[in-house]
């Protein structure tokens, strides 16, 4: 379907060739991992259907507190020496207006 970008990571699968995982696939995986984590915390979680929606998830606590979350995967600048510097994400003007919180997800295997 789409072309694989240079922002992808090689994954080693047992008994097969390494495959590249694109950044949008990593983002989708992060969203579903957070759905599992938030559900385990006792929250009800709903996923946004619209790809242009300013948030990814809606959580509702048993007491009725509603939160809108935008899930972002931690990324690092590769050309900064001597270590990789984290790229910080900030909410857009629309996200600030709507009170959407950004939830950064860190993958130790990236």
| pLDDT tens, position by position, 91-102 | 888 888 888 998
Cα(99)–Cα(47) distance, integer angstroms:
17
pLDDT at 69 over 60: yes
Domains and CATH numbers, the chain: 18-105 (3.40.1350.10)
pLDDT at 35: 94
With vertex at residue 55, the alpha carbon angle to CA 54 and CA 57, rounded to the nearest 5 degrees, is 165
Whether this prediction's pTM lies above 0.75 is answered by no
- Would you give the end-to-end CA distance of the chain in angstroms? 24
């Amino acid at each position: 379907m789409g072309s694989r970008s240079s922002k992808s990571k090689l994954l080693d699968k047992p008994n097969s060739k390494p495959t590249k995982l694109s950044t949008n696939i990593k983002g989708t995986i992060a969203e579903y991992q957070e759905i599992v984590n938030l559900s385990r915390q006792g929250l009800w979680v709903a996923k946004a259907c619209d790809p242009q929606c300013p948030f990814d998830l809606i959580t509702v606590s048993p007491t009725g507190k509603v939160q809108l979350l935008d899930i972002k995967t931690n990324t690092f600048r590769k050309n900064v020496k001597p270590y990789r510097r984290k790229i910080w994400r900030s909410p857009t003007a629309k996200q600030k207006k709507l009170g959407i919180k950004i939830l950064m997800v860190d993958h130790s295997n990236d």
